[in-house]
Structure 1
Amino acid sequence: MTIAPPLANIDLHLVRVLSTVISERSVSRAAMRLGSTQPQVSTQLRRLRSLTGDPLLVRSGTGMVPTDAALSLLAPAQRLLREAETLFGPTRAGRRFDPAETEFTLNLAASDYLDPQFLPTLVTRLRSQSPGVRLVLHPLTGDADYRTKLALGEVDVVVGNWLRPPGELHLGRLITDDVVCLVGDDHAAARNPRAWTVERYLASDHVAPTPLHPGAPGVIDEYLALQGQSRRIAVRSAHFGLVPAMLPGSGLVLTTGKLFCLRYIGRLPVRIVPCPLRFPPMAYYQLWHDRTHASAAQRWVREAIRAVARELVDGPAAEAGRAA
């Protein structure tokens, strides 16, 4: 019964010698390809013969030919070298990445507060540049602990807005956006903007997104709390993209970024009015964990996210904002 050699006796260079000697059918030519010497390759071939229990190369006329066993080992040896190249070579994660040729899965968690066109535009860009990417889009909801999901690898990138982003994660600023109010055309603030005072704003019925985690205020209410103020929230919605359609006839006020609101002007009977309170600009970020920080694929994704966010600011929405 043949006893398999311990794996500890086999190194990757020995596998490369095996592949090269069998392919070249010559110790001298193998030595040249390997940048080695003929005596060194001969020594390594003797070791390979001992490990495999086969002569591997035998004489035939004036040359050498591989044995049947050697030919059967060639494909596994080459496959192992390719896998090693993937693990440790220049194309491994963190060194080089070709989006057009690579298949990978991206788990992205994002709010839809930034712009209703953000996710559709991002998906189109990623799919056009990397046909092999598989996208899983996760909502940022009250029962989703995005910090834990990033740490566990269940999510790769989170896109959202925070008044004070978590400090333990990597952060990339995307855009800042002025805070405005969006109301129905029939709202008192739209009919008489001069009477739209701080007192009337705070006393109005407001619609707000569902918090990112239970008990957490959104950025608007967090800022109001810091000023010792509060507003009356009449509607909480996990479906932020549907909120503008709730405004006409309801008396509700939506306070959010201007970029989001501009998408609905002309499409719905709504109007943008300035906030009587001066809120700081709304800052949107992408967050990621240290485990993906060095990944070339994830760096490419983060750059695509940044570019799409910037294009939305500089594109048609910006033109609409200047016209408004």
Structure 2
Amino acid sequence: KNGADIIRINFSHASFDFAEKALNEIKSANRDLRRDVKILADLKGNRIRVKGIKSPFLLSKNKIVRIGTDYSKEKNTDILFDYLGNFLKVKTGDRIFIEDGKIELKVIEIGKYFLKARSLSAGEIKNSKGVNFPDTDLDFPNLSEEDKEDLKFVLNNDFSYIAQSFVRNEKDIKTIREISKKSKFKPKIIAKIENRQAVENLRKIISASDGAMVARGDLAISTDFYKVPILQKKIIAEAKSQNKFTIIATQMLESMTYNPLPTRAEASDAANAVFDKAEFVMLSGETAAGAYPSQSVKALNLIIKEAEKYLRENGGKI
């Protein structure tokens, strides 16, 4: 009712039961409101998360911690990551970020299935928080077992889009496209650009995809926060050159998670995405867990309409 065109179901958190209920609710709302809101399936991708923490604990600065992947392999472990490979590609001095960069660690010792690292910042360690290795090219399959199961569900239901997280190269997209050929539904495939490898392989990734998402949260960690505005423009430009659409995501109206109005900086950021000629802008935490979900959609819609009006009145020029 407030202007959403696509609803995202995030399979990093959503169960099949939740997804099925959401699909039915969206279809019902479409009928009642005479809308045609599309549905996007966001696959987990090769995302590493903290696991096995019995209760959250505060990690102090300069603390040395032992990191593992499985208690059966490394019993004296302080933190577990749900990574299925080994750590042999990690180098001394490599950085590890937890929870969107809130916690930074530096690797000081490496074993096959463990790392020792020194914390460079303090923070609370909790289960399910995302982990990034910005300096390391860890080994992952093109499609994880979890993604295969989620993809099977998605292709048996009426999703219009599939977004693949942490794409590294065009093979990650081609794997999904090959599996999707067997489905009666033909969802468009979106590559989420959110790591260094994706930036390096941008042209081939976009060529293999139907569209690209500028996933600015992890992109800022994997590259650097001050590079994101330029990378956003480069990704949009590359997509435009190949006649592919783009979605700008992460912290569009982050303050509206707790406040009824966006900041001036957020309004400018959202308008700038329109001026950059992105086809879509996306809300995430604002609507998934925020106190003002419908107001966030309404506010973003107002910003977009005003920016589009300005472009129309000025012949598409800023």
Task: Quickly name the TM-score band, shorter chain normalised.
Answer: under 0.3
TM-score by length of 2: 0.26
Task: Considering fraction of residues, name the structure with more helix.
Answer: 1
Q: Highest CA radius of gyration, 1 or 2?
A: 1
TM-score by length of 1: 0.26
**Which structure is richer in relative contact order (CA contacts within 8 A, separation 6 or more)?**
1
